[in-house]
Structure 1
């Protein structure tokens, strides 16, 4: 939905929100503001969960980087900021896939991270070098395939442990449901814009800003699924862990009991 503002429209996609409707300096206002949800969930996730491994701190903080890139992309709709949004999404997905593979199939040595790093380089090059419809296709093939593989692996964990580990059952079912709702909002916003933008053909009286809704729902769903991967990774590596509920019982947090017991011992010693 293009209209004139401060930034030249060079991105390979323009979403359903009217451009510069609220500010001459912000291309898509609601899509920009809603990107902050990803920054918050990523940073909070890294701080409150027992991420006893660099890979999970990286995974959470890459979500924050995605949120920052999304904020800049929707604020400008330029190809450079689009790459800053999309490339970290691929990196984040590869980081989580690494932990999923090792959790299910065991450690594979150095060849697995090297292979995934090479795949990241290939995806980064294809996303940043290409333009237009080809760029859009390259990104969604790269990221979409990683999403599907990761969900299949998470389903394997869910099928095996849903009865013996209630947190895995809850995190997978709720996380997947919310994430699928987010994807549905994304698809409608992209492919059925004329029917939901509040215009002449629209079946709705106003634009519900479905892409902004995607940002928020995807942040929540992804957080739940990352906590699931973290919980299972701790379990498979011999660490006892549990799910605690923070912020009024709304946010699940993975805590390792060995860390908790160590803190209690230290507190007793200090007294």
Structure 2
């Protein structure tokens, strides 16, 4: 799908969307625009949830950084912007893995974050140094393995608490279902492009822009799962918390009793 435009094509992958179809300066228009979903959900997560910990503010805002990198990557299809998309994905996943490990196995001291930072540096090198198909393979091996471990740990939390914590049951099932739909869209767009691009071999009359759909679904599914991790982490650390559903019951928000008590105290002082 590589049509000539303003930016030199140096990325290790080119997606199913036709390049420069709408602008001489934007390589993949729909893939770029849909990346804004990650920025929105990342920033909304950091602001709406009572994240009384640096780790969760960092995790949510790294998702926003991924969105910025994704927008620049799909807008240019250059290797530099591809790294700006992929490296924050690894760091964000490792940030969440830290909280999951502590939630399932208990606190492990300072050696755990140090080990995760060293692993992040190794992954960053493996993503940014190689080129071509090797780079693409290293990234998905690095990111995919972290995702798999996170999913296994979340499954353990789900199996243990689905009956006693309905919020965990709902967040995991809904988040996983949406994420699986996102992954299916990603795989079809990457491997079956000729059959869904709306051209000669296609079984569809037009390109449904499945990679753009991946951005949106992945953002929603990830938001649900991060809220689950946040909720469970607070619970395991002895902080009472609950899930509120906003915007017509569509958006889960984790609220802690500390925030509620602070608000009540502020209201009382204001009343006096």
Q: TM-score range by the shorter chain?
A: over 0.9
Deviation string 1:169-201 (CA, Å, 9 cap, x unpaired) is: 000000000000000000000000000000100
* Secondary structure at 2:244 match in 1: strand
* Pairing 1:15-34 to 2, within 5 Å after superposition: 15-34=15-34
User: Runs of 4 or more off by more than 6 Å in structure 1?
Assistant: none
Deviation string 1:103-127 (CA, Å, 9 cap, x unpaired) is: 1100100110010000000000111
Question: Partners in 2 of 1:124 and 1:266 — Cα distance?
Answer: 45
Task: Please state if 1:236 is matched with 2:231.
Answer: no
TM-score normalized with structure 1 length? 0.99
Q: Which residue is 1:47 aligned to?
A: 47
Q: Which residue is 2:193 aligned to?
A: 193
CA-based RMSD of the aligned residues comes to: 0.6
Question: Partners in 1 of 2:218 and 2:266 — Cα distance?
Answer: 39
Question: Partners in 1 of 2:269 and 2:72 — Cα distance?
Answer: 49
Task: Please state if 1:148 is matched with 2:157.
Answer: no
* Pairing 1:107-186 to 2, within 5 Å after superposition: 107-186=107-186
Stretches of structure 1 lacking an aligned partner (at least 5 in a row): none
Stretches of structure 2 lacking an aligned partner (at least 5 in a row): none
| 1:246 to partner: Cα distance | 1.5
* Secondary structure at 1:10 match in 2: coil
| 1:247 to partner: Cα distance | 1.9
Question: Partners in 1 of 2:68 and 2:88 — Cα distance?
Answer: 10
| 1:257 to partner: Cα distance | 1.5
Deviation string 1:23-77 (CA, Å, 9 cap, x unpaired) is: 1110000000000000000001000001000000000000000000000000000
Question: Partners in 2 of 1:44 and 1:154 — Cα distance?
Answer: 22
Question: Partners in 2 of 1:65 and 1:158 — Cα distance?
Answer: 28
Q: Which residue is 1:257 aligned to?
A: 257
Question: Partners in 2 of 1:54 and 1:258 — Cα distance?
Answer: 16
* Secondary structure at 1:107 match in 2: coil
